[in-house]
């Protein structure tokens, strides 16, 4: 009898999309990020996806020394799989974005599959005052900003980390990004099983309609067959229903304050763990089993939590 499918829950703890003004619950300091990641793991996340921020003002940072201030605490307190960003923020170049994954050699690192418009400016009218000087210009600049991820950039990150044993969470914001992932699989720069993270509802990428989700899955099935694991994230209010659709279709899910600040309509999530607990309840009500961190390691063929540089 075939083993029953287990759903991997990833929690993206704090990213570069939201700013401190947008929610008082967004983890900023190393201590807050560590606490949030550990809480998400205790709630049922098998993987935590991590960015770093400058503690004094919440500005996104790819300084590996900031990551070193919270990674050992998470590793000591939890068996959770740690996934570090190479996306950083759209204002950063590939060399800067690469450094945490290159130096710290995590089990998993994210990798964006294409250059794209990355529109955050529609958030601006919701706020009248800003806590820090960088926030408004950062959001305004997204009206004329391209998030650069060229073929050369992608190859550079993959080749630089080729000796680390790190697997990549391959982030696909549109259909063409799946074809780019297939291109790098053909070149031998990524190896099966691929961990494809499809992103829906961000301005500049594919939309959040159920047909968009199904189209992404059909295309990935055709390109990768049984050589991949599929996961989704829905931006903002799309988070929970797209995650539920993915799970019903046999996929995995990602939640967390990086992707959405909300727990429900008009209700800010106070912790990442709240979002993990909510999607876990939904999945279990559907009769689905939740993957443990060790399940995720086996499914994704990861190198193990002891083989990292932190």
Q: How far apart are CA 124 and CA 252, in angstroms?
A: 32
Helix, coil or strand: residue 260: coil
Task: Give the tens place of pLDDT for each residue, 243-287.
Answer: 999 999 999 999 999 999 999 999 999 999 999 999 999 999 999
Check residue 4 and give its pLDDT. 82
Q: How far apart are CA 298 and CA 178, in angstroms?
A: 23
Q: Is a pLDDT exceeding 70 seen at residue 27? A: yes
Q: Is a pLDDT exceeding 80 seen at residue 3? A: no
How far, in Å, are 192, 217, 249, 287 from residue 5 at the CA level? Answer: 18, 17, 11, 11
Check residue 274 and give its pLDDT. 98
Q: How far apart are CA 147 and CA 205, in angstroms?
A: 11
Task: Give the tens place of pLDDT for each residue, 76-88.
Answer: 999 999 999 999 9
Mean of pLDDT over the chain? 97
Considering only CA atoms, which of 170, 110, 120 is closest in space to residue 147? 120
Q: Residue 11: what are its φ and ψ, rounded to 5°? A: -120, 120
Please report, rounded to a whole number, the percentage of residues in the chain having pLDDT higher than 90: 98
Helix, coil or strand: residue 261: coil
Q: What is the DSSP string of 10-49?
A: EEE-S-SSS-GGG-TTS--SHHHHHHHHHHHHHHT-SEEE
Check residue 73 and give its pLDDT. 98
Residues shown for the chain:
310
Lowest mean pLDDT among 2-16, 102-116, 205-219, 242-256: 2-16
Q: What is the DSSP string of 39-104?
A: HHHHHT-SEEEE-EE-TTT--EE--HHHHTTTHHHHHHH--PEEEE-S---TTS-HHHHHHHHHHH
Cβ neighbours around 1 below 10 Å, total: 3
Ordered by where they begin, the domains of the chain are 6-300 (3.20.20.70)
Check residue 1 and give its pLDDT. 56
């Amino acid at each position: 009898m075939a083993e029953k499918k287990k759903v991997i829950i990833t929690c993206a703890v704090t990213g570069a999309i939201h700013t401190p003004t947008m929610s008082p619950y967004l983890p900023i300091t190393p201590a807050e990020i560590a606490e949030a990641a550990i809480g998400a793991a205790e709630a049922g996340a098998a993987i935590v996806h991590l960015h770093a921020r400058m503690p004094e003002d919440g500005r996104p940072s790819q300084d590996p020394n900031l990551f070193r201030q919270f990674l050992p605490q998470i590793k000591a307190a939890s068996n959770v799989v740690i996934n570090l960003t190479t996306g950083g923020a759209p204002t950063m170049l590939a060399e800067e974005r690469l450094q945490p994954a290159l130096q710290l050699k995590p089990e998993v690192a994210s990798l964006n599959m294409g250059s794209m418009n990355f529109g955050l400016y529609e958030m601006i009218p919701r706020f009248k005052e800003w806590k820090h000087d960088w926030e408004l210009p950062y959001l305004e600049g997204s009206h004329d900003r391209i998030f650069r991820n060229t073929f050369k950039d992608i190859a550079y990150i993959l080749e630089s980390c080729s000796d680390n044993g790190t697997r990549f969470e391959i982030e696909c914001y549109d259909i063409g990004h799946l074809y780019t992932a297939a291109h790098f699989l053909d070149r031998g720069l990524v190896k099966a099983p691929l961990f494809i993270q499809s992103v829906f509802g961000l301005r500049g990428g594919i939309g959040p309609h159920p047909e968009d989700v199904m189209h992404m899955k059909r295309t990935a099935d055709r390109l990768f067959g049984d050589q991949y694991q599929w996961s989704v994230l829905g931006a903002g209010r799309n988070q929970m229903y797209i995650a539920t659709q993915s799970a019903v279709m046999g996929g995995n899910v990602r939640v967390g304050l990086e992707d959405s600040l909300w727990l429900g309509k008009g209700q800010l999530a106070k912790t990442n763990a709240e979002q993990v607990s909510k999607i876990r309840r939904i999945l279990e009500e559907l009769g689905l089993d939740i993957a443990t961190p060790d399940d995720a390691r086996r499914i994704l063929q990861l190198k193990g939590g002891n083989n990292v540089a932190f």
